[in-house]
Amino acid sequence: MSTLSLVTAPLARVPGVAIALIALCAVFAVTSPGFATPANITNILTQSTILLLLALPMTLIIMTEGLDLSIGAVLTFASIVLAITAVTTGSPTLAFLAALAVGLFFGLANGVLIAVFDIPPFITTLGTLGIAQGLSLVVTDGQSVVGIPRSIEAIYSGAVVGIPLPVILAALAYALTHTLLYHTHFGTYVFALGGNREALKVAGISVRGMLIRAYIFGGLMAGFAALLMTARLNSAHPTAGIGMEFDAIAAVAVGGTSFERGNGWLLGTLLGVMTVGVLRNGLNLLAVPSSAQVACIGALVIIALFIDGLRGEQ
Amino acid sequence: MSTATSKAAAPRFALSGDVMQTLYRVLAVVLLCLMLTALSDVFLTANNILNVLRQTALLFLLASGLTLVILTAGLDLSIGANVALSGCLAASVMTLTGSPLLGVATGIACGTVIGLANGVLVTTLRIPSFIASYGMMWMLTGITYYYMAGETIHGFPPGFRQLGSGHLLSIPMPVYVMVLFLAIGALFAQRTIWGQQIYAIGANPVAARLSGVPVERRLVLVYTMSGAMAGLASLIILARINSAQGDIGEELTLPAIAAVLVGGASLFGGSGTVAGTLIGALLLTLVLNGMNLLQINSSWQPLATGIIILLAVWIDTRTRRVGE
């Protein structure tokens, strides 16, 4: 492996995700005439917002050496609850609060099961994935929820001074997460949870409390993303968010956050989200079926983890 | 409590603890059967019992390979997607060539190659198993849907269909396959050096490596076996439903994981048995069958499976904490 590390050592200083993103953009700009147009770029940015809302908390959770496989299913269930509340009460505010409540509940459940009951994160969230998915099916009986008030749809299609509203909301979420991670004690503890958990315990910090907060943050962001997803689809469907957790994990992994050592990089996640968004958009323009896109993203994750593994050896 | 303590300290030698754990599970099966007999007129009919056995056989085949992976403290989330791809490839080879033998070979070979790939990702590339097999799951799902393009392949040779829907002495064929692999699996895990090395890796990988166990090669072996069993299970499904679609594996991974964990294997590795997994598969099938008989909407099934997984792992972590 020593010769391999010789090759990878200089590369490790350049963010691999930036290279990947530029390379993908160049390839699609050449192969597909519709790619490098202002309309399409706005389109990519808008479509990436939901993914970014999931990938931001996923970064924090993976930094604590955790994982949240339930985030896509929670997003789906929150979207269904949001839609049903909006249809029955007619109040978008109440509907949004209901979606946040669903997110809070599942985030808290994940956090307590992981931190207090010591159940490994991937199996905990696999279990809650089944529960959230089951609830979505049970509540809707497999049908779509339609008849959502216009005011909700406007959240996705609206724009302020030419910038799409979802992009503004996603930028606010990014700023919030950045502040949380780099400018609060909580953020410092998140770094320590992955890198040096023992030191936290010695310093008298409640490791359990910090873990629970990280998963609650994930749940709340899924509830927030449910607002954008419902507004985008103008309906809620029990399978709408299935697999979104995979795109989010892919974005975080491609962005260079390590699954084993708790090193995280929030800007990397933003670039990772853009990479996944560009890949999906470009493949769409080239008329590649969405099934093959999933296979491409799967391959992308394995390559990203492979590179991460090589870096870990240095 | 003394049994639990000795079990956690030395799983291999604390026979009495293991026997007690198995007895609890058998008791749970008996109670569940009694309950279902009381609640439903249909439960205790020959047809339904054979149906339960057939379902158990299928779940056990998938879960038995997974048991070996979980014994090493790993996880294989790709088995359901593996079933789908292996099954669809086997189906198209069978309808193209008309040869059941080639179809069977394709299904098992495809499953084995996927398992081998998982093993390489986990050992050579050192990717944590749950995330490697998770990436693999999505890759396989994508390939399967792309390959099938929404089509269904159906109509297999009658000889092949015997594998899934045939009977011998009025017992379904899959049950014989299950018994065969129970014997092979139990003998392999408990009575061979390789099997014991797998337990050692799960209990303490560093100690295993220091005492000369070829850890990487054994890990590749367990993932390959898990993949091969998924390939075999896909054939049983094909033979049973006489058709193949891109989504045949979609709802198999969670129940298989649940069966292994309910069967007493620990996610932390080193403890659990193939026979335990059979009881786990039977318990889970009884729960799902009972929900069907009581006409509970099938939408509740993933929810129930999720809760069962969480309960099983919680009990396991509690028992371990008492042991410490």
- pLDDT per position as a tens digit, B286-307: 988 888 888 887 778 888 888 8
Tell if the CB–CB gap between A123 and B313 is shorter than 8 Å. Answer: yes
Closest CA in chain A for residue B257: A123
Residue in chain A closest to B268 (alpha carbons) equals A120
Q: Which string of b and e fits B253-271 if b means at least 16 CB within 10 Å?
A: bbbbbbbbbbbbbbbebbb
Tokens linked to A196: 């040096």
What distance in Å separates residue B144's CA from the closest CA in chain A? 8
pLDDT confidence of residue B135 = 85
> What are the chain A neighbours of B135 within 8 Å (beta carbons)?
298, 301-302, 305
Question: What stretches in chain B show pLDDT beneath 50?
Answer: 1-11, 13-14
User: What pTM value is reported for the model?
Assistant: 0.84
Q: Where are the domains of chain B?
A: 12-32+42-323
Residue-level pLDDT at B7: 42
pLDDT score of A54: 96
State how far the Cα of A240 lies from the Cα of A231, in Å rounded to an integer.
12
ipTM over 0.95: no
Give Rg (Cα) of chain A: 20
Q: Are B284 and B255 in contact (CB under 8 A)?
A: yes
User: How big is the A-B interface in CB pairs under 8 Å?
Assistant: 136
Range with the poorest average pLDDT among A5-14, A231-240, B3-12, B287-296 = B3-12
CA–CA min distance A74, chain B (Å): 13
CB A129 within 8 A of CB A69: yes
pLDDT digits (tens, 9 = 90+) for A109-130: 999 999 998 888 988 998 899 8
Closest C-alpha to B99, from B173, B147, B160, B174? B160
When CB atoms are compared, the residue of A69, A134, A296 closest to B299 is A134
Length of chain B: 324
Q: Which of A123, A128, A306 sits opposite B125 (nearest CB)?
A: A306
Nearest to B306 among A122, A129, A138 (CB): A129
Q: Closest Cα to residue A211, out of A66, A98, A313?
A: A66
Q: Which residue of B has its CA nearest to A312?
A: B126
Contact A69 B134 (CB under 8 A): yes
Are A309 and B125 in contact (CB < 8 Å)?
Answer: yes
Contact B302 A131 (CB under 8 A): yes
Q: How far apart are CA A139 and CA A141, in angstroms?
A: 6
Q: Using a CB-CB distance cutoff of 8 angstroms, which residues of chain B are in contact with residue A253?
A: 131
Share of chain A above pLDDT 90, in %: 39
Task: Using a CB–CB cutoff of 8 Å, tell me whether B267 touches chain A.
Answer: yes
- Paired residues of B244 in beta bridges: B153
Its sign, for the CA torsion A141, A146, A148, A153, is: positive
How far is Cα of residue A51 from the mean position of the Cα atoms in its chain? Answer: 5
Strands A163-164 and A159-160: antiparallel
Q: What mean pLDDT comes out for the span A4-25?
A: 68
CATH number for B12-32+42-323: choose from 3.30.530, 1.20.1280, 1.10.3470, 3.30.460. 1.10.3470
* Chain B hits for A126, Cβ within 8 Å: 77, 254, 257, 306, 309
How close, in Å, is residue A67 to chain B by CA atoms? 9
| Residue A1 confidence (pLDDT) above 50 | no
Closest CA of chain A from B280, distance in Å: 17
CB contact under 8 Å between A123 and B309, yes or no, is yes
B121 at the A interface (CB within 8 A)?
A: yes
> Cα-Cα-Cα-Cα dihedral of A152, A155, A156, A159, to 10°?
150
d(CA A118, CA A66): 12
| Min Cα separation B254/chain A (Å) | 8
Q: What pLDDT, on the 0 to 100 scale, is given for residue A257? A: 84
In chain B, which residues have their Cβ closer than 8 Å to the Cβ of A302?
Answer: 121, 125, 127, 132, 135-136, 139
Q: Which of B128, B297, B313 lies nearest to residue A259, judging by beta carbons?
A: B128
Q: Do A260 and B128 touch (CB under 8 A)?
A: yes
Partners of A62 on chain B (C-beta within 8 Å) are none
Q: Is B194 on the interface with A (CB under 8 A)?
A: no
Residues linked to residue B140 through DSSP beta bridges, in sequence order = none
| The pLDDT value given to residue A180 | 92
Query: Within the 271-300 window of chain B, which residues sit less than 8 Å (CB to CB) from chain A?
Result: 297, 299-300
A130 vs B134, B136, B303: nearest CB: B303
C-alpha–C-alpha distance, residues A15 and A269, integer Å: 11
Report pLDDT digits (tens) over A80-106: 999 999 999 988 899 999 999 999 999
Q: Which of B127, B266, B287 to mutate against chain A (most A CBs within 10 Å)? A: B127
| Cβ separation A138–B297 shorter than 8 A | yes
